[in-house]
Structure 1
């Protein structure tokens, strides 16, 4: 098959030791989730005030069937399906050599009645983060040296920034006209990580409160390379950005 789909490590479109899995229909994965915006009418003027568009959660429904090698394999597959997504897991589609994935939470997973070697199934999967992800990207540079970063998705990517070195007075990070200014000092042997989706700063894995003086969370836009720069008033260090090509 030219297409493979896995859920929580289990093949649901493709071939494994239990038999041949096939998804017959899927809705919600290739569509844009419902947009969220709070527009407000302009009084005594035409139109509405402009507002940024956000997206709601993604709901994916699918129907499929397993042609098992034996009736016993169909029985074991049904048990496997009912146990999926006890905790959030990866839903991944590999098609034409292009991988897209998201973090799924359990909705309804309903294996049907076994008929001979055949097991039909239905699933509802919830993605509270509606984004889809592709290739992993990583860019590193020394503080004070710019680096070009890029991603080939269709939606802004939010990197995890890892900073090491010795910078007693903190440091600044800038990308696409946005600035993050860290006032928390960084000592040699310590590591700062900043999640640009949540704005949480951690030092050696522990959350740091009040470590920012100014923050516009950084985003890597899809398309052309963009210049990232880190600077400090004293000391030196290295910075690494990790993220995925991001899609909606």
Structure 2
């Protein structure tokens, strides 16, 4: 297993490495205690229990720990400084974890300052680190489909993106499982629409467009059985394996 964050690779594989990951130290990832559930708890008036409310997944905190192995005090100081500088400005960065299960990622920021303890001056230190992802989803491989059956290999609903290549008259409709995204801007030959259905954003030739759709529903592909994608013959749907 390898964990990549910023310019550091944390390795859970055998062999020499500066930043190692202890066995079973990774928590909060796929299958390792992920995001929680939140809902409004409204008591039933004059009755037992609570009103039925939809539950939503929370953001996720991912933690891991291990050793920092170095050959000198100067190298140890450099390694500790390198770790304390990861995402230190409070911005988001890409967390990528590669394992036997595949390669998966999400965008995170620090949950708290990494903890470090020197065990043997100059050679061995231990660390623990936690990062916070405001979205519960973890993403894997992206699959590209023409109109027809669409699917993914995750365990959570996947919100798809689309690309349509001109020439294409308007309006045209993209649809998955009854949900529709209707575009009202035509394309000439060689032009493309790149459509972010989650955020209702359309770019033509890479330039963000305004007021070019009449209906904007996120195109959702459920895990498990295939759904059906309909749209122009030059449309492709991009679906990421999505996990919670």
Q: Given the two structures, how large is their TM-score scaled by the length of structure 1?
A: 0.81
Q: Does the Cα contact within 8 Å between 2:160 and 2:218 map onto a contact in 1?
A: no
Does the CA-based 8 Å contact 2:11-2:17 persist in structure 1? no
CA RMSD in angstroms, aligned pairs only = 2.7
- CA contact 1:179–1:215 (8 Å) conserved in 2: yes
Question: What is the match of residue 53 of structure 1?
Answer: 55
Query: Residue 138 of structure 1 is aligned with which of 118, 141, 144?
Result: 144
SS of residue in 2 equivalent to 1:76: helix
Residue by residue over 1:158-181, the C-alpha shift from the partner in whole angstroms, topping out at 9 and shown as x without a partner, is: 122111112232210111121111
SS across alignment from 1:79 = helix
Instruction: Show the 5 A alignment for 1:1-248.
Output: 3-14=1-12, 19=18, 21-23=20-22, 25-29=25-29, 30-38=32-40, 51-85=53-87, 86=89, 87-107=91-111, 108-113=113-118, 115-116=120-121, 117-139=123-145, 141=146, 146-231=147-232, 238-248=234-244
Residues 18, 73 of structure 1: 8 Å contact kept: no
Question: Relative to total residues, which structure has the larger strand share, 1 or 2?
Answer: 1
Alpha carbons 2:197, 2:216 under 8 Å: kept: no
How far, CA to CA, are the matches of 2:179 and 2:51 in structure 1? 24
| Higher mean C-alpha deviation, range 187-196 or range 62-71 | 62-71
Could you report, residue by residue, the CA deviation over 1:178-237 in whole angstroms, capped at 9, with x for unpaired residues? 111111222323221111221222222232222222232101111122211104xxxxx6
**Deviation of the 1:40 alpha carbon:** 5.3
Unaligned runs of 5+ in 1: 232-236
Secondary structure in 1 matching 2:185: coil
